[in-house]
Chains A and B, each alone.
Chain A
Amino acid sequence: MNLKTKALVILAVVVACLYGLYGLPTSAEEARQNFRQNVRLGLDLRGGSHLVLQVQVQDAFKAEADLIIDRLKQDLASEGVNYDSIERNDPQTLDDAESIQINIQGVPLDATSSFRSLVSDRFPNWVLAPVSSTDYKMNIRPTEALALRRDTVERSIRTIENRINGLGLTESTVQQRGRSDAESEVLVQMPGVDDPARVKAILQTAAMLELTEVNDGPFMSRQEALAKHGGVLPLNTRLVRQVVRGADQGESWWLLTRSAVITGRDVRNARPGRDEFGKWETDFTLSQEAAQRFGRFTEANIGNRLAIVLDGQVRSAPTIQGRSDDSGRITGAANEQEAADLSIVLKAGSLPAGIDYLEERTVGPSLGADSIRQGFISGLAGVGAVILVMLWYYRKAGINATLALVFNAVILLAVLSYFDAVLTLPGIAGVILTIGMAVDSNVLIFERIKEELRAGKAIPAAIDTGFGKAFLTIIDTHVTTVVACAFLFIFGTGPVKGFAITLTIGLAANLFTAVFVSKSLFDFDLSRHPRLERLSI
């Protein structure tokens, strides 16, 4: 390769790198912005939240069983089959979600065949097995269980994504964790979040909205409600608590119809608003189909109360004044942000199962800002000191080394930006080792050239042999490290991986800069001064 081709290659790499870092800016301000966008810092440096959530899939199994129980009861009633009780067990943890079981007791002997055929016809996803002559159990089929698990996690991820988008956190990522034994784990990364506690609360809100008919109430306590109905709840009803905020009376209880008229799925839109007294509330509108249903219901129930239930708590129970079609409101927000947060979760939909946090790493915005500043200062001080010493020690050749070092850093950043990779703290460890090995490459080469010069070789020959011999060593050190990086990348997790990626890129760049670019610079210098007497090194 002659000098011209080499210069062209180097120029091409420089242009490609600068384009990767700065794009095609038209102003200095735009260049700065592009740079900030392209060189992305990790959560640990710039601040933000890294969360690992676990979807409590057993919740979805319980909900599915409840649905089946409701339908089964209806079907049995319409077929005229009697029974004593239908109940389900209560799996507590993720691992025994599949152990969900519906127990049916007291089916009369003469109804056995009609009961069995009804169940097998209408609930093909569940396996019916007799426990005794009158008692049965139903278990979910393994294929259906697997599908339900997957569907629950997928829906949860979608809901979380919607909520994060609703918050305007555009750079965030939500993904399922890769391993097969952790398929219910979701990784959420949100760079630059300035109020992590709020975001966590929003993600964890179930956001189950129900508008339900009120049968009776309010009562001061659960006991009072039960006492009024002779100790047992009427069929198809439930007792739900209302917590009145800021008021002294504390809580009250309502007797509600079990099934809701309108649920969160019927919500088309929601936004924060203010009532006539200037208090914050969340206004929502319903989808067309739900609006018709709601209209019919309110028309038929004028004068009765309607409970607005959110996540198992009554928020308010207003009296229906007249026909109401497609809108409603949830009152009682403390401020605008709370009203806005509720509208975000209502729009995003409810979570099909509860969410637990397994891991959280939050770096507050002030720590992030400090880290960036301190990292910048220490990086500048370190590299500056290295450059000064090299210039002092190697004189003119030190300029070569400095150029190679700076170029190496530029390539490293540019490649990271082309790969959309982020620079994290462990990544900086990789950068430091890269700098160390880059300096080492230069030192090795220069010391070798000096040795050759001492041995009496002519300058061009000394440079050639120096580079040639040092290259062998450099290849060995670099390949050894890259081999190690390959293992770290394959078997390591997040941070360890980040280290391996940055280091590998840095070393590849170093082979180019310390060997190819630096040699070309020497060659260029020699071509200009062919009769050079003393090499400044």
Chain B
Amino acid sequence: MELFSNPKFDFLGKKWPFVIASLALIIAGVVSLVSKGGPMYGIDFKGGVLISLRFAEVPPLDELRSMLGSRIDGEVSVQEAIGENEVMVSTELQSEEQLAEARRLMMDTLNERFGNAGANQADFNNAGAELIASTLRERNVALSDDEIDSLAGRMREFRDSSPRSGLLTSLDELSEVEGVTPEIVSAMKQGFSLAPFSIRSVEIVGPKIGEELRQQAIMATLLAIGGMLVYIAFRFEWIYGVAAVVAVFHDTLITLGLFSMTDREVSLTVVAALLTLVGYSMNDTIVVFDRIRENLKVVRRESFPALVNLSINQCLNRTVLTSGLTFLTVLALFLFGGQVLNGFAFALVVGILVGTYSSVFVASPILIALQGVLESRKKSRVVSAAPAKKAAIRKSSAKAVR
């Protein structure tokens, strides 16, 4: 079975619409990035506090906003996350000292507004297994210590598993847990109340560490790309390395631009996704380049651009298949991966599309252009014409390539 038998598309002849599309996307991305003052960094990179919460009912966003805003210096953002009644509360902070304070204020505010009224009752939705166990012991439940410990563990797991995901709306639900008797449910009701929210995650990053993480991530990525450039230059020729690296930058820039346009935050996990896309795009480009190198040895009659086009066509089946299959994996991650993986999966979905496309429409044209420049230089050296003529020859050969 074959997708395309013996394809002969003139990819490079039709490159202009694609080059223009690329440029348009890049420009739109850059404009968005510039107008928003750089990428929207996540808390990991700029420093601050981020608490993500899940509510039992539709959360009162405006109320949260005004309550938190009045208490915490600096801008507090309250965002509804994708998913069921999930809210992310975050604030950017400039100094290390404010971190603990801001977190405490956020928690206090939440507890005051939504917390349990009875001061003697702990909140079950935010309790650990040990607190559950010690509360049961306090109510003199007729079980051994070990039994209570394992029962408490099971209740905790029950609460945290899907579909409850950390939130009970009634303690009666606990009767579903193995080993829970009506007597235990009533003991739990005496000892616990239920706050209508549960804390899903907390991120606090000092601005110094954030800055450091950002710089290290950028430096490591640039060095890695540099390493690839050197390796490709060594295995192929330097122009291949340059073309591949330009394509990779093109992909990263477009993805970052799309992140900025869709108001997504660039966090540490997104950086991992960007690295994946760099790797993927590089892989794709090398496969095409490898074919070009191989064809250069065999097919000598054709011009370089025609040869590149031939190589792309020869690789077309594999390009479409590989990209399609990898895209399936990533798409599954994007659709079913949940909130934590969302930004990450988004970067990959975009990255694979752009990465595949850039091998054909960015890396290859650049390679041809560079090769053209090289050849014209060689010719000019052979002719050893006067310096004034050199430029003219270069120009004309560049035209010929086109």
A residues lining the B interface (CB < 8 Å): 44, 52, 193-198, 335-337, 340, 356-371, 373-375, 377-379, 381-383, 385-386, 389-390, 393-395, 425-426, 428-430, 432-433, 435-437, 439-440, 443-444, 447, 450-451, 469, 472-473, 476-477, 479-481, 483-488, 490-493, 495-496, 498-499, 503
Give chain A residues whose Cβ lies under 8 Å from the Cβ of B330: 382, 432
A429–B134 CB distance below 8 A: no
Report Cα–Cα, A447/B134, bound state, in Å.
64
Report Cα–Cα, A382/B339, bound state, in Å.
17
B residues lining the A interface (CB < 8 Å): 1-2, 52, 54, 96-97, 99-100, 107, 126-131, 134-135, 137-138, 156-157, 159-162, 164-167, 198-206, 208-209, 213, 216-217, 219-221, 223-228, 230-232, 235, 268-269, 271-273, 275-276, 278-280, 282-283, 286-287, 290-291, 294, 314, 317-318, 321-322, 324-326, 328-333, 335-341, 344, 348, 352
Q: Which residue of A lies closest to B166 (CB)?
A: A366
Give chain B residues whose Cβ lies under 8 Å from the Cβ of A503: 279
B96–A356 CB distance below 8 A: yes
Report Cα–Cα, A195/B128, bound state, in Å.
5
B268–A476 CB distance below 8 A: no
Report Cα–Cα, A382/B276, bound state, in Å.
16
A378–B287 CB distance below 8 A: no
Report Cα–Cα, A265/B326, bound state, in Å.
60
Q: A366-B161, A487-B227 are in contact. List 19 more A-B contacts (CB 8 A).
A: A194-B128, A358-B205, A361-B202, A364-B200, A369-B162, A371-B338, A378-B333, A394-B1, A432-B329, A436-B352, A437-B280, A476-B235, A477-B286, A481-B228, A481-B279, A487-B220, A487-B226, A493-B220, A499-B275
Q: Within the complex, what minimum Cβ distance (angstroms) separates B227 from chain A?
A: 5
B332–A425 CB distance below 8 A: no
A487–B224 CB distance below 8 A: yes
Instruction: Pick 22 A–B contacts, CB within 8 A, sort by A.
Output: A357-B204, A358-B208, A359-B205, A364-B160, A365-B160, A366-B166, A368-B160, A385-B329, A389-B325, A390-B325, A425-B341, A430-B272, A432-B330, A439-B325, A440-B318, A444-B287, A447-B321, A473-B290, A480-B282, A480-B283, A483-B228, A484-B224
A336–B137 CB distance below 8 A: yes
Q: Within the complex, what minimum Cβ distance (angstroms) separates B273 from chain A?
A: 6
Q: Within the complex, what minimum Cβ distance (angstroms) separates A292 from chain B?
A: 35
Q: Within the complex, what minimum Cβ distance (angstroms) separates B96 from chain A?
A: 6
A358–B96 CB distance below 8 A: yes
Report Cα–Cα, A485/B204, bound state, in Å.
28
- Given A194-B129, A367-B201, A484-B278, A393 contacting B221 (CB threshold 8 A): no
Give chain A residues whose Cβ lies under 8 Å from the Cβ of B337: 374-375, 378
Q: Which residue of B lies closest to A386 (CB)?
A: B325
B227–A486 CB distance below 8 A: yes
A364–B271 CB distance below 8 A: no
Q: Which residue of A lies closest to B271 (CB)?
A: A496
* Residue from A381, A383, A469, A472 having most chain B Cβ neighbours under 10 A: A381
A481–B282 CB distance below 8 A: yes
Give chain A residues whose Cβ lies under 8 Å from the Cβ of B202: 196, 360-362, 364
Give chain A residues whose Cβ lies under 8 Å from the Cβ of B216: 491-493, 496
A369–B280 CB distance below 8 A: no
Q: Within the complex, what minimum Cβ distance (angstroms) separates B296 from chain A?
A: 14
Q: Within the complex, what minimum Cβ distance (angstroms) separates B231 from chain A?
A: 5
Give chain B residues whose Cβ lies under 8 Å from the Cβ of A450: 2
Give chain A residues whose Cβ lies under 8 Å from the Cβ of B199: 364
B223–A491 CB distance below 8 A: yes
A484–B282 CB distance below 8 A: yes
A378–B335 CB distance below 8 A: yes
- Given A370-B162, A381-B336, A496-B271, A447 contacting B318 (CB threshold 8 A): yes
A425–B322 CB distance below 8 A: no
A491–B219 CB distance below 8 A: yes
Give chain A residues whose Cβ lies under 8 Å from the Cβ of B231: 479-480, 483
Give chain B residues whose Cβ lies under 8 Å from the Cβ of A335: 134-135, 138
A485–B131 CB distance below 8 A: no
B279–A362 CB distance below 8 A: no
For the complex of A and B, 3 pairs with smallest distance between CB atoms: A195-B128, A366-B166, A382-B332
Q: Which of A193, A385, A484, A488 contacts B328 (CB 8 A)?
A: A385
Report Cα–Cα, A433/B282, bound state, in Å.
11
Q: Which residue of A lies closest to B153 (CB)?
A: A194
Give chain B residues whose Cβ lies under 8 Å from the Cβ of A360: 202-205
Report Cα–Cα, A490/B164, bound state, in Å.
42
Q: Within the complex, what minimum Cβ distance (angstroms) separates A377 from chain B?
A: 5
Q: Which of A451, A472, A481, A492 contacts B217 (CB 8 A)?
A: A492
- Given A196-B202, A378-B337, A477-B286, A425 contacting B269 (CB threshold 8 A): yes
